[in-house]
A and B are shown apart, each in its own frame.
Chain A
Amino acid sequence: MEGSGNILFSGVGGQGILLASEITAYSLLAAGHDAKKSEVHGMAQRGGSVTAQLRYGKKVYSPLIEPGQADIQVAFEMMEAVRYLPYLHKGSKVIVNTQKILPPAVATGQAEYPADVLDNLIKREIVVVPVDAFDLAREVGEVRTANVVMVGAMSPFLPVNPEVYEDIIRARVPAKFRDANLRAFEAGRRVSE
């Protein structure tokens, strides 16, 4: 199987990043790639910033993405799209959920949420794909599918056919959420296609 790449998932604890990165990993494996994924558990999950790193290719050794080598970032929150800037390079693609989650210093009035935060990416010639994942998830009838909307929006950038993702979603999501998740994937995919 041709191609290799590095995908960084970033967001806030509790946003469903792990499921999104799992669906992506399974899809890459099903398409015949080798893959490794790294997560950090523990302290990081109590509402703090969280990341998952996914690498694929013919044979993957290191589970960690090198700084400057993330080809795709799937960011579940706007500020978390910018926090890992040293991992990106010119031309990296950042799929970003245009949601704001206030960190404690902002929520308690000690700091302000940075204005036009995504400009930090655009002015460095990073490709930004904004996705209103919440809205799209609401439209498909299940707000909890925002993470799968994000997978959909990222999917055209990977060497994997959409049917593969759909098979994986069918196999890995509990029956009662299956249809909503498939619709969420579709809705997300339409944003970037």
Chain B
Amino acid sequence: MTNKNKDTLWMSGNEAIALGAYEAGVKVASGYPGTPSTEIMENLSCYEGVYTEWAPNEKVGLEVAIGASFAGSRALATMKHVGLNVAADPLFTASYTGINGGLVLVCADDPEMHSSQNEQDNRNYAFAAKMPMLEPSEPMEAKEMLKTAFDLSEDLDTPVILRITTRIAHVKGVVKKGERIAATDGEISKNPSKLVMLPGMARKRRVYVEERMNRCQNLAETAAFNRIEKGDTKRGFITSGVSYLYVKEAFPDAAVLKLGMCWPLPEKKIREFAGMVDELYVVEELDPFMEIHIKAMGIDCRGKDCVPNQGELNTAIVRNSIDADSKLELFEEVPLPMRPPNMCAGCPHRGIFFNLSRMKVFVSGDIGCYTLGFLPPLSAMDSCVCMGASVSIAHGIAKAVGEGAHDKVVSVIGDSTFIHSGITGLINSVYNDSASTLIILDNRITAMTGQQQNPASGYNMKGEAASQLDLEALCRAVGVKHVYKVNPHDVPETRKVMKEAVEQNEMSVVISEAPCVLLPEMKERKPVSYFTNQENCVGCMSCIRLGCPAISWTTFAEGEAEERGYRKKQKGISKIDEILCNDCGQCASLCKFNAITRKEEK
């Protein structure tokens, strides 16, 4: 865009992968949002001639892609690393059926857990599911590898995984545009002995899987993406993905074997390289994946005995872990107040968590913006494991506690997360007679990952009107007898309903209905705010305990309270920043002293 050549672009890895999918002639793409993978689908949806959709979860997304592949079109599924756990079931058997049109799954791992609950290393899936995995080092390579992945998929009759990490997905670099292959329309063609995985047929395909992986390994021996870069042979490095970049900077003169395909491994090439160098190092982020397999070939190498197996690597970590005396003297950190993320001013979730923080219940939490309800001053979440787990964990707790548990456990889940994998948990709770309470936080969007549409929002990925899931009707249909709806911004009123729901001796659901403040229609509202009548403020701190970023507290200096005409004992006063306020009214609904009022016009 800036360079003289209009085909030279500046793109993130995710943008580059979307372009690669377009160039590869992908016909159908389905995904579920998840940092750091989300922008692939968002960008792909802007290209003509590619069908894109948000699926309710990763398993559904992958199955949609498998279907499109069976019909003969090129198909893509995208997800974050933990999403592959959800999609693992179709993945393992699609490995047996193989494909018709090329099928590629992009999974984005998150070493260091910038935005994730664990840092699992998904290279292990390629080994376990017996399919090839490619691993680029930078955006341009990611685009090209995605195209290579489609070719491999069709050559070898296999799904292929493209594994990226945060430092590819969200790194921008120079990318060159390529030619596009036109997308192929699918057609109905039957091939049951390949596609119906009954044991008899699956056993035959199992044999094929082994042949295919042998062929893939042979191909890996000569493919351009696995390359030896000649250099100083005192130390040689086998590396892949972003680690390659760190090795190139830490040891610019050393010989390197860069593996673009991290499974299956090219054994002959590795032996050849090992024979060239005096000392062999394997540098990889997270698990000793290549190291274990290289050692199993009987090749001596060093790896996780010096390079950390936790968190991200960088040039300094790679250099210092191999050359301990290369460490630089660094300035030490200065202790500063932390600046953790917080729910937005006016976030509907805040009202619910404020109420929960005042109820004596175990809060079984889930994943979304509302997980921030864990942080002070709300501190109202007691467990959070994976998407959809809130309701089933609450059921387990209730069953373990037994008699009298009904008013002690509350689960909290977002709309997108409920649809992703909470519905089955709710069905179980009703079927197996739980008496806990589920709160569904319906903010009409998948907010955490940057506002994606979902089946309850009424719009599809392209923003066109779509069928809208009726959450209340769904809860009633699965047998919940006590379903309430609340406006979370009216905090005291919501508390009454929550108490009533919790006291029920049968499963109850409270649906909290109010939109995320970052929705376009919320941002376009007439800017109105609340303000503090400071003369009425008695310093009770009720509003401060909401933790709204628009409200701040000023502590009085010695004698200041009296000087300013407040009670002698008053410790300070609260103030709303009218620019930050988003007009939710929660603080006003809590203030008993008429110190917070709404301004008609900002």
Report the separation of the CA atoms of residues A102 and B550 in the bound assembly, to the nearest whole angstrom: 10
Contact B339 A37 (CB under 8 A): no
Q: Taking CB as reference atom, which chain B residue is nearest A102?
A: B552
Q: For A42, what are the chain B residues with a Cβ–Cβ distance below 8 Å?
A: 35-36, 114-115, 448-450
Determine whether B341 belongs to the interface, using a CB cutoff of 8 Å to chain A: yes
Q: For B249, what are the chain A residues with a Cβ–Cβ distance below 8 Å?
A: 61-62
Among B328, B330, B375, B553, max chain A CB count under 10 A is at B330
Report the separation of the CA atoms of residues A149 and B329 in the bound assembly, to the nearest whole angstrom: 33
Q: Which of B546-560 contact A (CB under 8 A)?
A: 547, 549, 551-555
Contact A68 B343 (CB under 8 A): no
Determine whether A19 belongs to the interface, using a CB cutoff of 8 Å to chain B: no
Contact B170 A39 (CB under 8 A): yes
Determine whether B49 belongs to the interface, using a CB cutoff of 8 Å to chain A: no
Among B166, B328, B329, B572, point to the contact of A109 (Cβ < 8 A).
B572
Determine whether A1 belongs to the interface, using a CB cutoff of 8 Å to chain B: no
Q: Which of A38-93 contact B (CB under 8 A)?
A: 38-49, 60-64, 66-68, 79-80, 82-83, 85-86, 88-89
Report the separation of the CA atoms of residues A36 and B343 in the bound assembly, to the nearest whole angstrom: 31
Chain B: interface residue count, which band?
35 or more
Q: Taking CB as reference atom, which chain B residue is nearest A164?
A: B2
Determine whether B464 belongs to the interface, using a CB cutoff of 8 Å to chain A: no
Interface size on A, residues (CB 8 A): 55
Q: Which of B407-459 contact A (CB under 8 A)?
A: 448-450
Report the separation of the CA atoms of residues A85 and B330 in the bound assembly, to the nearest whole angstrom: 9
Known A37-B172, A62-B246, A63-B167: A46·B331 in contact at CB below 8 Å: no
Interface string of B334-359 (1 = CB under 8 A from A): 10111111111000000000000000
Determine whether B314 belongs to the interface, using a CB cutoff of 8 Å to chain A: yes
Determine whether A141 belongs to the interface, using a CB cutoff of 8 Å to chain B: no
Contact A49 B173 (CB under 8 A): no
Report the separation of the CA atoms of residues A17 and B291 in the bound assembly, to the nearest whole angstrom: 39
Interface string of A90-108 (1 = CB under 8 A from B): 0000000000001111111
Contact A106 B337 (CB under 8 A): yes
Interface string of A1-13 (1 = CB under 8 A from B): 0000000000011
Contact A83 B336 (CB under 8 A): yes
Report the separation of the CA atoms of residues A30 and B314 in the bound assembly, to the nearest whole angstrom: 27
Name 21 A/B residue pairs within 8 A (Cβ), A-sorted.
Answer: A36-B138, A38-B171, A39-B172, A40-B166, A41-B36, A42-B114, A42-B115, A43-B35, A47-B549, A48-B342, A61-B248, A67-B316, A68-B328, A83-B336, A103-B337, A104-B339, A104-B375, A108-B552, A109-B554, A114-B337, A168-B2
Interface residues of B (CB under 8 A from A): 1-3, 10, 35-36, 38, 114-115, 138, 166-167, 170-174, 242, 245-246, 248-249, 312, 314-316, 328-334, 336-344, 369, 372, 375-377, 448-450, 544, 547, 549, 551-555, 572
What 9 pairs across the A-B complex have the smallest Cβ distances? A42-B115, A42-B35, A46-B341, A48-B341, A109-B553, A107-B552, A63-B171, A61-B245, A103-B339
Interface residues of A (CB under 8 A from B): 12-13, 25-26, 29-30, 34-49, 60-64, 66-68, 79-80, 82-83, 85-86, 88-89, 102-109, 111-114, 117, 120, 124, 168, 171
